[in-house]
A = this chain, B = another copy of it.
């Protein structure tokens, strides 16, 4: 059984699926969580962009590098599928992205000897070195931004809870 998210309020099962607000309100763009999420995500990405450009990385490439930088050096290099699980991305997205990182000599892709189907992704020395340039990114991102760090943390946690609920839920019936 999947763990309950903190978004749940005990005894309450979301909204009763029969009650409905006026359609005008339900379909108003600014009432939608989905649009707030969509717009905020792109605004955050846009704010990262110039900083990551200095590193020669796109935003999704940066996320991949974050995973690799966090990897224990003693562990075997992660598989493409493991990166995918972590980032919620499939091979259709990751394969070309990883090829670009390999062209830039930041990573090395190696087909496994034990199992010829898997590809393991390891940092090159250059990829590891890039981390030194990246450490200043989170801080520089926040600099000049008029936000309360505590609220950032709580927003992050609420988003994680939402993600957990969404991933645990049955897919919407088609």
Q: Which residues does A use to contact B, with CB under 8 Å?
A: 4-5, 7-9, 12-15, 17, 20, 23-24, 26-48, 50-51, 53-54, 59, 63, 66-67, 69-70, 86-88, 131, 134-135, 138-152, 154-160, 162-163, 165-174
| A163-B39 contact given A34-B48, A158-B155, CB 8 Å threshold | yes
The residues of B that contact A143 with a CB separation of less than 8 Å are 14, 17
Q: Bound complex: CA of A168 vs CA of B166, how far in Å?
A: 31
In the complex formed, the residue of B with least CB distance to A34 is B44
The residues of B that contact A149 with a CB separation of less than 8 Å are 14-15
Please pick, from B5, B86, B152, the residue contacting A146 in the complex, using a CB distance under 8 A. B5
Q: List 11 A-B contacts (CB under 8 A).
A: A4-B146, A5-B146, A7-B148, A9-B150, A15-B142, A15-B149, A27-B135, A32-B138, A38-B41, A43-B163, A47-B166
